[in-house]
Every structure is written in C-alpha cells, then in structure tokens.
Amino acid sequence: MTVTLAENYDDLVETLDGQLRALVRRDGVDPQHEVELVRGMAVRVVAEHNQRSLTGSVAPITDDEAVVEELVARIAGFGPLQRYLDDPEVEEIWINDPSRVFVAKAGRHELTSTILDRAQVAELVERMLKSSGRRIDVSQPFVDAMLPEGHRLHVVLEGISRGFSAVNIRKFVVRAAHLHDLVALDSLTDQAARFLDASVRAGLNIVIAGGTQAGKTTFLNCLAASIPGEERVISAEEVYELRFNHPDWVALQTRQLGLEGTGEVRLRDLVKESLRMRPSRIIVGEVRAEECLDLLLALNAGLPGMASLHANSAREALVKMCTLPLLAGENIGARFVVPTVAASVDLVVHLGMDPHGVRRVNEIVAVPGRAENDTIETETIFAREGGQLRRATGMPPRLDRFVRLGVDVHALLNGAG
C-alpha cells in the first residue's frame, strides 16, 4: 500500500517525527547546532520505516528525501517556514495570523498556502528566540532578534497585536558584497560606484537613507567593503546585520532589559563605548533616536563614519538628523544641531525601490558644510532622471582628502577617472 492521501501522509510524518524526537532526546543532540547529525538520524528513521514496510505492517514512503527534509525542518529548522527560509527568491516572511502567512519576492508580496495554528506559531517563536538569547513576554511585548543564518526576527506579542502575535522574518540574502556587485544589479552606475569607493577610502562621512526594504543594510555592507584594511572598524547595531570582510572589525549589538528590569544596553551606549575602542572608522546600522547626537559628536571630532536611517529623500535625511538629537534632552537645540550636521555629514545616498521591485540609488548628495536659517546647503552629485542615474553638477566636500589619496575626483566625475 502506498501513502498518497494528505491525511495519511501527515499521520506518517507525525509518527516519524515522534520517533526522531525521541532519538534526539536520548542522545542529547542539540538540533539547531548539530543539523547534520539530526539529518543522519532522520535518514535512519526513514530507512527503518521502509524496512518494516516490506512486511506489510506499515505503508512505504514514496519520497524518502522529501520526508527526511520535512523531519529535519521540523526538528532542526523552523518547521513549515523552513522551505521559505531555504528559498533564495524569498526576501521576507510574515505571519499576520496563523492562517495568513505571507512572503515577499522581488519586492512584491503574496499570500502562501501555509496554514498554521496558534500552538505552532508560539512554538516557532519560542524556538527562534531560544537560538538568539532574547525573550518576549507581557513586560517585553516586542522583540528584535537574529536567527542563526543571519535573518532578522521581529515579533509583536498578542495583546499589542490584535488577535494574534505578529511575526516578521527579514531574510539575510547576499546579492551584493561590493559596490561593483550593485552595478551588476543595476542599482547604480559604474561611475557612481567608483566615486563612492573613492569617497569611502578618502574617509568621507556617508549617510545611507531610504524606506523599509530599500536595501540600506546591503548598501552599507558594500560601502564598508571599501574601507582600507589597515583601519580599525567598530560597528553598532540593534541586532547584528552587517556582514562584510575586514581584518580589524568589532561588531556590537544592543541588549534588551533582563527579567529584573536591568541590563539594557542601548544603541546610544554602544556609540559611546565604540569611541573608547580606538576606532579608525565607526558604522551605525540604523539611527532611530537620540544616538544620532553621539554619532554626530564622533563625526564632528574627526572620526570617519557611516550610518543608515529611514528617510524619503536625501534632504529629509538631513532634516531627520537635525531632529533626532533633540530627543537627547532639553539642553540640545537646533542652533547647535543644524551646523553640527552640516559640518559632520559629507554625503547622503538615497535609495529606493522601483515599481518592479528593483532597489536603486535615487540620488547622491554632497553637504558642503554650510547652513543658513536652519537649512543645510546641499549639492546634487548624481540624480536619477528618466530611469537613469545621471551626473549632476555638484562636487563632494573635502577635496584635499581625495588629493591625498591620489584620486582626481574632477576627472572621475567628468567620466575620465
């Protein structure tokens, strides 16, 4: 007898699942850190089942490999979501309620056929958080965490989210590691990539702006790959997302409150601590609040750096950088912040997503360092017109740094560099 009906298949997998879990517990195997060992055990469980099927006591399995993969996903992976995590086309997964699981591909989202129940969602969240060392409960109803493969998990507990806990997994998909990879993906031109590479090597301070899923972290990774190897890099993030190769790099992440209500480490704390670690360059993964003040103070003191933030244009990014430091206290005012931003930020790169889901650089803007009537002057170096990123008339600040680097920035921007 061959198992073909879905309910019989499900019953069979449930039985094998129970047998495999018993073996994992008996041998003291850590499923999430010893995946291949779990896979080997799953192969043995399936093989033993097929041996018994020769006697007619149980139904044979028609697709051994598929059953093994499902068992591994259930025990060592993340169950019904594992196939989406393994699919390189899927960029993001979210659960609005157990019966509505969505995925995003190429910037567009679609409702999947996956249907869960409350217990499955709760078990998946618990398993995901176990690997991250973070928690979620009534006193801490939100959590940001990093999954083993580098994917970012965000959960909003039921009660804050109406009806069901809301789960979002933003996958870490490596499509670009260097600026020239972004050229191949048609995100920017070769000329713009060479200019940005020279700007990073020259030590200019660069802010990456854009909306959610515009590719800010990927772009920051590509910029960071241009940092000279002899420099010491310190990065600060809410959760580890930056991934670039550098011989002297220390990555820091925040920590949430403990059960006793103590032990929190904020992004602002990390920015301050990074300055005590002899950095040659600092990177802040996502500026959201008063840590912007500490970043500006570091950049204004001559320490090169890069950061990302949410904004709808380069101009709005500068306005936001003038606003966020005001959250640090009443003694911080616009008369101090605006000229500090003007003097500290050299370039703003604004990213966006086109109607087809392609992430592109929309503009690269220079900040000459001048401000008048609380307005920061800017010069556009590149802007997207008619679907193409074109050279504008602006020039970057700190031309002396390009000269010391041996780069003729005028020739580069005029197409001869």
Write the pLDDT tens digit of every residue in 175-226.
788 999 999 999 999 999 999 999 999 999 999 999 888 889 999 999 999 9
- Strand-pair category, 305-310 with 281-284: parallel
Confidence of residue 4 (pLDDT cuts 50, 70, 90): very low
pLDDT (tens digit, 9 = 90+) per residue, 240-267? 889 899 999 999 999 887 767 778 899 9
- Strand-pair category, 206-210 with 347-353: parallel
Query: What is the amino acid identity at position 311?
Result: A
Q: Provide the angle, in degrees to the nearest 10, between the axes of the packed helices 267-274 and 291-300.
A: 20
Q: Which residue has the tokens 């300055």?
A: 275
The pLDDT > 70 percentage for the chain reads 97
Answer whether 163's CB lies under 8 Å from 370's CB: no
CA separation for the pair 232, 247 (Å, rounded): 8
Q: Which of 149, 172, 148, 170 has its CA nearest to residue 92?
A: 170
Confidence of residue 1 (pLDDT cuts 50, 70, 90): very low
Q: Which residue has the tokens 């390009």?
A: 402
Answer whether 22's CB lies under 8 Å from 31's CB: no
Q: Identify which has the larger pLDDT, 404 or 56.
A: 404
376 has a pLDDT exceeding 70: yes
Confidence of residue 11 (pLDDT cuts 50, 70, 90): confident
Most trustworthy range by pLDDT among 31-35, 103-107, 177-181, 351-355: 177-181
pLDDT (tens digit, 9 = 90+) per residue, 265-299? 999 999 999 999 999 999 998 899 999 999 999 99
- Start-end of H helices in 56-214: 64-75, 82-86, 118-132, 179-184, 190-201
pLDDT attached to residue 352: 92
Query: What is the amino acid identity at position 223?
Result: L
SS3 28: coil
128 has a pLDDT exceeding 50: yes
**What are the residues whose beta carbons fall under 8 Å from the beta carbon of 179, sequence distance 6 or more?**
188, 193, 196, 197, 222, 223, 225, 226
pLDDT attached to residue 7: 46
SS3 112: coil
Helices and strands (H, E) in the chain, number of each type: 14, 17
Sign of CA dihedral 137, 141, 146, 149: positive
List the structure tokens of 387: 């679907």
Mean pLDDT over the full length of the chain = 88
The pLDDT > 90 percentage for the chain reads 48
Average pLDDT over residues 96-118: 89
Q: Which residue has the tokens 């493969």?
A: 149
Confidence of residue 14 (pLDDT cuts 50, 70, 90): confident
Length of the chain: 417
3-state DSSP helix/strand/coil % of the chain, to nearest 5: 40, 25, 40
pLDDT (tens digit, 9 = 90+) per residue, 39-73? 888 898 888 888 888 888 888 888 888 888 888 87
Confidence of residue 105 (pLDDT cuts 50, 70, 90): confident
Sign of CA dihedral 219, 146, 136, 267: negative
**What are the residues whose beta carbons fall under 8 Å from the beta carbon of 160, sequence distance 6 or more?**
141, 142
User: CA gyration radius for the chain?
Assistant: 25
CA separation for the pair 241, 197 (Å, rounded): 21
pLDDT attached to residue 29: 80
6 has a pLDDT exceeding 60: no
Most trustworthy range by pLDDT among 55-59, 128-132, 387-391: 387-391
Q: How many CB atoms lie within 10 A of CB 324?
A: 21
Answer whether 59's CB lies under 8 Å from 12's CB: yes
CA separation for the pair 315, 395 (Å, rounded): 16
Average pLDDT over residues 10-27: 84
369: left (phi over 0), alpha (psi -120 to 50) or beta: left
pLDDT attached to residue 416: 54
CA separation for the pair 381, 379 (Å, rounded): 6
Answer whether 307's CB lies under 8 Å from 207's CB: yes
Q: Which residue has the tokens 């390189």?
A: 88
DSSP codes, 395-412:
--S-HHHHHHHT--HHHH
pLDDT attached to residue 5: 40
